[in-house]
Amino acid sequence: MTVKLLSGTQLAATLREELKAEVSQFIDRHQIKPTLAAVLVGNDPASEVYVRNKHRASQSIGMNSQLHRLDSTASMHELLSLVNRLNADPDVHGILVQLPLPKPLDATSVLDSIHPDKDVDAFHPENVGRILQGRPRFLPCTPHGVQQLLIRNSIPISGQHVVIVGRSDIVGKPLAAMLVQRQCGYGPNAVNATVTVCHTGTRNLSEITRSGDILVAAVGQPRFITAEMVRPGATVIDVGINRVGDSLVGDVDFAAVSPIAGALSPVPGGVGPLTIAMLLRNTLVAAQLQATSRAGE
């Protein structure tokens, strides 16, 4: 069986082109440039790279991007004051606090302090609750990237068994909440899945993963998904990005799984580039929300 490679790099470029046109229309209509404010505390090298990529991608589609840096010794008071200032700034539409935060800063309190209308990560409890209830304000970036990768490759989701390995607040839990919905704006085949969420405490893990029509690996362990965990012909989505020596490897053993899977997303070049594209979409959605609520529409 030849595996179909699900390229996120190519899809992200298409999505950015679509967004660029929408951003241009929005600017013509409102004379407002959608603006994303990223907050970076300290100088974690991986976070520096993420923030730089986000900045470049925003510029490339005609959005504004601000970077607010705080020293790694910044206090909770300083960080919360910055978030409050950005919450109140009408020229800032989306706010992103780059994680992880240096110790002893408390990420939960900081994320809770971001105004829900500017929470482009969709991490605020109000936004998480809305996703669970099927009336999202913002879709969480990585899960939305996974969903788009499936939709745009004509892989049906409705009625399929989606097995997610990993229960994080950023990927596993919100992805399950999205795909289990009865309906969504992307049409009848984009949701309505039967979803199983597995984790480190799951018994008979391989038995369950082998029953997945779509298997999503989001555990954060290099090459965790081996050949015998995959049903022949299944679609396998690898969300992991693990540094092993000098290279980046996914949560899926790519060499072992590619002869078995029907479709497989590579690492790098799979889900990763889509996360940023979806963040930009959320920034446009935030700007649209704020422009219409200001105009009283």
Binding site for ligand GUN (CB under 6 A): 50, 96-99, 121, 141, 170, 275
The residue among 50 and 254 lying less far from ligand GUN, judged by its C-beta, is 50
For residue 141, the minimal CB distance to ligand GUN (Å) is 5
Which residue do the tokens 């990420």 mark? Answer: 107
The distance of closest approach from Cβ of residue 171 to ligand GUN in the complex, given in angstroms and rounded to an integer, is: 9
Residue appearing with tokens 């679509």: 18
User: Which residue's CB comes closest to ligand GUN?
Assistant: 99
Which CB sits closer to ligand GUN, 170 or 179? 170
Q: Between 97 and 195, whose beta carbon lies closer to ligand GUN?
A: 97
How far is the CA of 251 from the CAs of 53, 157, 164, 240, 265, in angstroms? 22, 22, 12, 5, 11
Closest approach of ligand GUN to the CB of residue 154, in Å = 27
Q: Specify the DSSP class assigned to residue 101.
A: P
Q: Residues 98, 147, 148, 181: which is the catalytic one?
A: 98
Tell me how far apart the alpha carbons of residues 154 and 173 are, in angstroms, rounded to a whole number: 24
Direct distance between the N- and C-terminal alpha carbons of the chain, in angstroms, rounded to an integer: 53
Q: Give min distance, CB of 234 to ligand GUN, in A.
A: 26
> How many beta carbons lie within 10 A of that of residue 52, not counting itself?
13
Provide the minimum distance between the beta carbon of 211 and ligand GUN in the complex, in angstroms, as a whole number.
Answer: 29
Q: Among 117, 118, 119, 121, which one carries the catalytic annotation? A: 121
Give me the residues paired with residue 195 across strands: 162
Please indicate whether residue 288 is annotated as part of the active site.
Answer: no
Residue 294: other Cβ atoms inside 10 A: 11
Active site residue 54: yes
Extract the tokens encoding 53: 């990529």
Q: At what angle do helices 272-294 and 8-30 cross, to 10 degrees?
A: 10
Q: Would you say 19 or 263 has its CB closer to ligand GUN? A: 19
Catalytic residue among 54, 173, 181, 290, which?
54
Cβ proximity to ligand GUN, 258 vs 282, nearer residue: 282
Which residues have C-beta within 8 Å of that of residue 21, sequence separation ≥ 6?
A: none
76, 109 Cβ separation under 8 angstroms: yes
In the beta sheet, which residues pair with residue 194? Answer: 161
> Least distance from C-beta 215 to ligand GUN, angstroms?
22
Half-sphere exposure (Cβ direction) of 250: Cα atoms closer than 13 Å: 26
Nearer to ligand GUN, 92 or 229 (CB): 92
* Catalytically active residues, by annotation: 54, 98, 121
